[in-house]
Amino acid sequence: MRIGRAGALTDTGRRRTQNEDTFVCEPPLFAVADGVGGAQAGEIASRLAATALEERLPGAYGEDTLAALLREANERIYQHSLDDRTTAGMGTVVTALLVDEAHGALAVGHVGDSRAYRVRDGQLEQLTTDHSLVGELVRTGRLSAEEAEQHPHRSVITRAVGTEATVAVDTFTITTAPGDLYLICSDGLTDVVRDHEIVSLIAAADGDPHAAAESLVDAANRGGGIDNITAVLFEIVEGEPAPAPARVAAVPEEATADPELPEADTEAVTAPAAEVRRHGPGDGNRWLALAAIVLALVAATLLVWWGLTR
């Protein structure tokens, strides 16, 4: 079996002015990070977590891999908050899924109240446990699931990545099957759209991850859009796993075309592909840079000519 289609969408919602959610949708790794901390700190924390996850080494799978990546994210966020006191107390909840196609296994790493679900045979199953005040009350029988949906403190979390020097990460592994559809989402979806609505919307989208993500986000916005909304979905299908892609160095076109490029220069522009897609310069920046070089050469030529003709 292998990963089939995948889709993801994030939206600011109707009441927030900025989006502090970040997602990873890079098969075989999928994740949602929902930042906490106010101002821009939550956005910083969620992005730091996503970046740490994206640095997973090729061929690294399983619970230990996810736990190590989330601990690394915790260290980076916590250290950032120490270095920049304007971000003190920031953190993020994270739910990450890592698919091992060769073994038909899916590892889960989870901290906080973002959720992972599985749709199998038309039934929706919540895979993760909310690390929240309301979640604890439900687990101890002091609150019913129905009461929890309306509880005024349902957004109070009991665990996050980056708020303390260390973090406890929940990890477990489940077996996948062809036909499975997995959803990871922030609480901006689940606080508004009930489980039976989620499975109905996915079914109405014929299980297409892109269409389902759009439908889920639209439903949360129709319900008030009280928070940032993020949905990441992917399917498991029959077939042989695709060969693992090589991690290609991001080398500028000019360097690739020049066989005499010194080795040191090649190393200087080497970076993981995910970083280049996220942070690298676009075509417009490249043309501006070339134009600046040409203008500088023209100016230098004119200065030399002027000096010679004096």
- List pLDDT tens digits, range 166-199: 999 999 999 999 999 999 999 999 999 999 999 9
pLDDT confidence of 207, banded at 50, 70, 90?
very high
User: What's residue 272's pLDDT?
Assistant: 29
2-237: CATH architecture: 4-Layer Sandwich (3.60)
Q: What is the pLDDT of residue 149?
A: 65
Reply yes or no on whether the pLDDT at 280 is more than 50.
no
Other Cβ atoms within 10 Å of 145 Cβ, number:
9
On the 0-12 / 13-18 / 19+ scale of CB atoms within 10 A, 197 is middle
pLDDT of 223 over the 90 cut: yes
Cα–Cα distance between 266 and 250 in angstroms, integer?
9
Residue 57: what pLDDT? 96
208-214 contacts: CB < 8 A, separation 24 or more?
208/5, 208/7, 209/5, 209/6, 209/7, 209/8, 209/181, 209/233, 209/234, 209/235, 210/5, 210/7, 210/9, 211/7, 212/7, 212/181, 212/183, 213/7, 213/8, 213/9, 214/9
In this structure, of 13-27, 171-185, 251-265, the range with the lowest mean pLDDT score is 251-265
pLDDT of residue 240: 87
Burial of 282 (0-12, 13-18, 19+ CB in 10 A): exposed
What integer pLDDT is reported at residue 242 of this predicted model? 72
Report CA-CA distances (Å) from 307 to 89, 295, 300: 61, 18, 11
Give the global pTM.
0.76
Share of the chain above pLDDT 70, in %: 69
Q: Show the tokens assigned to 254.
A: 């000019």
% of the chain exceeding 90 in pLDDT: 64
| Dist. CA 4–CA 236, nearest whole Å | 5
Closest by CA to 140, choosing from 127, 152, 130, is 130
**β-bridge mates for residue 21, sequence order:** 34
**Across 99-103, 130-134, 244-248, 251-255, which has the greatest mean pLDDT?**
99-103
41 contacts 89 by C-beta, under 8 angstroms: yes
pLDDT, residue 35, reads 95
Q: Mean pLDDT throughout 276-296?
A: 37
Distance in angstroms (rounded) separating the CA atoms of residues 310 and 307: 6
Question: What is the mean pLDDT of the segment spanning 43-68?
Answer: 97
Could you tell me which residue, 231 or 284, shows the higher pLDDT? 231
Cα–Cα distance for residue pair 310/308, rounded to 1 Å? 6
